Structure 1
Amino acid sequence: MSGDALTNTPKLGFGLMRLPRLKSGKIDVEQTSQMVDMFLDAGLTYFDTAYVYEGSEEATRKALVERHPRDSFTLASKINARLGCVDAKTCKAQLQESLRRTGAGYLDFYLLHALQSSNRDNYDRYGIWDFVREQKKRGVVRHVGFSFHDSPQMLDELLTLHPEVDFVQLQINYADWESPTVFSRENYEVARSHGKPVVIMEPVKGGRLANPPREVAQILRHANPDASLASWAIRFAASLDGVMTVLSGMSTLDQVRDNVGYMGDFRPLDQGEREAVERARQALAGVEQVPCTACRYCVEGCPRDIPIPDVFEALNQELLWGNPTRARKEYAEAVRGHGGAGDCIGCRRCEGTCPQHIEVTSWLRRAARDLA
């Protein structure tokens, strides 16, 4: 690729966290390869994976790196100072393992992963800020940033302490724009006040905005019956000033086809469209739901082996769709062979790692009461 990737990156990026899987649980590399080809054929180039995305870096090698010229795409991965890390040595070793898994030779973008108050000290204690800066000097990584899930005050402090970072990755979507726990708007404004380009994650909130409650869908379909519901969410995020790219965690060929259809030749939201999205946001704010994006960070280390995201998905069947029969059926399937919601011992380990800052134990009690 030619030019500066910080300024020339197309507005849509391919998030490699939610790739299609076979019945065996392994990533479907054949389908992923087709998705990668369709994405590149549309003139799009940015791919995002991470050390802790199970199987993702290996699938990236097979579907992307081994099949396309290295200069035809840019690749991001991440170092995580909490998951898969017990000390400075094991944490720093993640970079070489990511390079081995991907076979990429170098990483165009490298991020400190999911920075928040519960893990911030680890990045300092293990010397990760200095480590990634050294790797940039060596050319092993080209651009350094961090993904972030905490308050605007903490973001401002980090960017003041570390002005050397090239970009910031933030959770931004219209549902969380005024959220008092995700701080989408406020964190975006802090990043821009420091002059940092923004990579956006979770623009469709783990797929939830592709299938929102009926009243929300009606507002958007009335505004444009031909536009997919996911397109409103992604175009909202991509229309913000200073956004480098918007990551869509695509799982099917149809999702890629839909996304590249309106993002291959991106057009920002006009005034009428912005007003429609605001009406949708207000309608969504009035609907009770568990704001889980199914990142599954909470599952690792749960002493009762509770499949927390699956429990919440079942509970949302009742909350969002008023379907308690289906909710109980999905719950029973989710916990078969695992711990149930009522088995939670309240250790709150899950809450310490949750990027959405969900009161997990409270919602598990609700699920145990309503679904078990």
Structure 2
Amino acid sequence: MIYSDFKGDRISKLAFGAMRLPVADGDDSKPIQEKVDALVDEAMKEGINYYDTAWGYHGGNSETVMGKALSKYPRDSYFLADKFPGYDVANMGHAKEIFQKQLEKTGAEYFDYYLVHNVCETNIEQYLDPKYGDVAFLIEMRKQGKIRHLGFSCHSNFDNLKRFVEAYGKDMEFVQLQINYLDWMFQEGKKKVDYATEHNLPIWVMEPLRGGSLAKIDDKYMKELEAAKPGETPVDGASDSCSPSPRSSPCSPA
């Protein structure tokens, strides 16, 4: 396993994303604990130490099963990341109760990494409006040690990322971006990476395989890949986009 150093943390370059866990009967809200345990065991054995979950994953059950799967391991042997679910504006103003519930669901006393989730067109105004106080609360949780490192994720256009950084950049320690060869232009990935680098914001990469869709490509394009890079698989090709700058940290499938 290859590792990155971030403020004293030695983080595996490949992270474990808990958005697409094995489920029962095709029901996304029913992750199978035994299979999640087995996946986590294998990941730990192979040196993966960064585990990324979120409030909305698997109908709210990802945090619970991940907490149970990790509970057998010493707390200092892995890094746990969770997120404030601002993608749903109904959650705005409720960071305190959501955060406490997340600690309970994961069984954690603190989060190593915590993200302001999915800054985008539908929530940027609420994130920037001080009357909700969600970002201010998370900053306070970092001061109290309940959050070790605070960052944000962005799936939207460049302008929303820029506005968020202008408002909160001094308090954000990293940004998680959707980076792969498709989103390098489609989601203005290059522009976001350049901006983050200019503002000294370390980059966490998510969706390097775009939910698996880049792991399988049409025969036409596979022939082009084979001609350009003999012996390389689609996964190899997509993974090449995981490290857009020397400051990038883990690639997360979440």
Q: Are 1:52 and 1:84, in contact at CA under 8 Å, matched by a contact in 2?
A: no
Of 223, 229, 235, the residue aligned with 1:230 is: 235
Question: 2 CA distance for matches of 1:87 and 1:148?
Answer: 17
Q: Tell me the secondary structure at the aligned position of residue 166 of structure 1.
A: coil
* Structure 2 counterpart of 1:281: none
1:61 pairs, out of 45, 59, 67, with 67
TM-score (norm 1): 0.61
Whole-angstrom distance in 1 between the partners of 2:7 and 2:172? 14
The aligned counterpart of 2:43 is: 39
> What does 1:221-370 align with in structure 2 at a 5 Å threshold?
221-224=226-229, 226-238=231-243, 240-249=245-254
User: Does the 8 A contact of 2:53 with 2:82 survive in 1?
Assistant: yes
Q: 1:235 to 1:67 in 2, by over 3 A?
A: farther
- Following the alignment from structure 1 to structure 2, what is the Cα–Cα distance between the partners of residues 84 and 151? 18
Match of 2:134 among 113, 119, 128: 128
- TM-superposed deviation, 1:49: 0.5
2:211 corresponds to which residue?
206
Residue in 1 aligned with 2:149?
143
Decide which of 219, 225, 230 is 1:220's aligned counterpart: 225
SS in 2 for 1:8: strand
Aligned to 1:170: 177
For the residue of structure 2 that corresponds to 1:206, the secondary structure is helix
Deviation per CA, 1:285-327: give whole Å up to 9, x if none: xxxxxxxxxxxxxxxxxxxxxxxxxxxxxxxxxxxxxxxxxxx
What stretches of structure 1 of length at least 5 have no aligned partner? 250-372
SS of residue matched to 1:9: strand
- The Cα offsets for residues 333-359 of structure 1, whole Å up to 9 and x where unpaired, read as xxxxxxxxxxxxxxxxxxxxxxxxxxx
What amino acid is aligned across from residue 234 of structure 1 in structure 2? S
* Partner residue of 2:84 out of 79, 83, 104: 79
Cα distance, 1:7 vs. partner? 5.9
Alpha-carbon distance change, 7 to 72 in structure 1, aligned in 2, over 3 angstroms: closer
8 Å Cα contact 1:155-1:190 kept in structure 2? no
Deviation at 1:239, TM superposition (A): 5.4
Q: Which has the higher contact order (CA 8 A, sep 6+)?
A: 2
Which amino acid is 1:10 matched to? S
Largest Rg, 1 or 2: 1
Report the counterpart of residue 22 of structure 1 in structure 2. 24
- Once residues 226 and 37 of structure 2 are traced to their aligned partners in structure 1, the CA distance between those partners, rounded to angstroms, is 32
Aligned partner of 1:304 in structure 2 is none
Cα contact 2:179–2:241 (8 A) shared by 1: no
User: Are 1:52 and 1:83, in contact at CA under 8 Å, matched by a contact in 2?
Assistant: no
Q: Secondary structure at the match of 2:103?
A: helix
Aligned length: 243
In the alignment, structure 1 residue 154 sits paired with structure 2 residue 160: yes
Corresponding residue for residue 12 of structure 2: 10
| In 2: Cα distance, 1:38 partner to 1:5 partner | 26
Give the Cα separation in 1 of the matches to 2:77 and 2:173: 21
In structure 2, relative to structure 1, the CA distance for the partners of 1:239 and 1:116 (3 Å cut) is closer
Indicate if the aligned counterparts of 1:209 and 1:230 stay in contact, CA closer than 8 A: yes
Residues 215 and 115 (structure 1), Cα distance of their counterparts in 2 relative to 1, 3 Å cut: same
Q: Determine the C-alpha separation between the residues in 2 that align with 1:171 and 1:134.
A: 27
Which residue in 2 is equivalent to 1:336?
none
Task: Choose between structure 1 and 2: higher strand proportion.
Answer: 2
- C-alpha contact (below 8 Å) 2:119/2:152 kept by paired residues: yes
What is the identity percentage for the equivalent residue pairs of Structure 1 and Structure 2?
33
Q: Cα–Cα, structure 1 residues 84 and 96, in superposed 2: closer, same or farther, change >3 Å?
A: farther
CA offset digits 1:165-215 (Å, max 9, x no partner): 000011110112122xx1111111111110011111111112110112222
Task: State the AA in 2 paired with 1:22.
Answer: A
CA shift digits 1:219-273 (9 cap, x unpaired):
2334455443223212321353211111024xxxxxxxxxxxxxxxxxxxxxxxx
Q: CA deviation at 1:4?
A: 4.3
Give RMSD over aligned pairs: 2.0
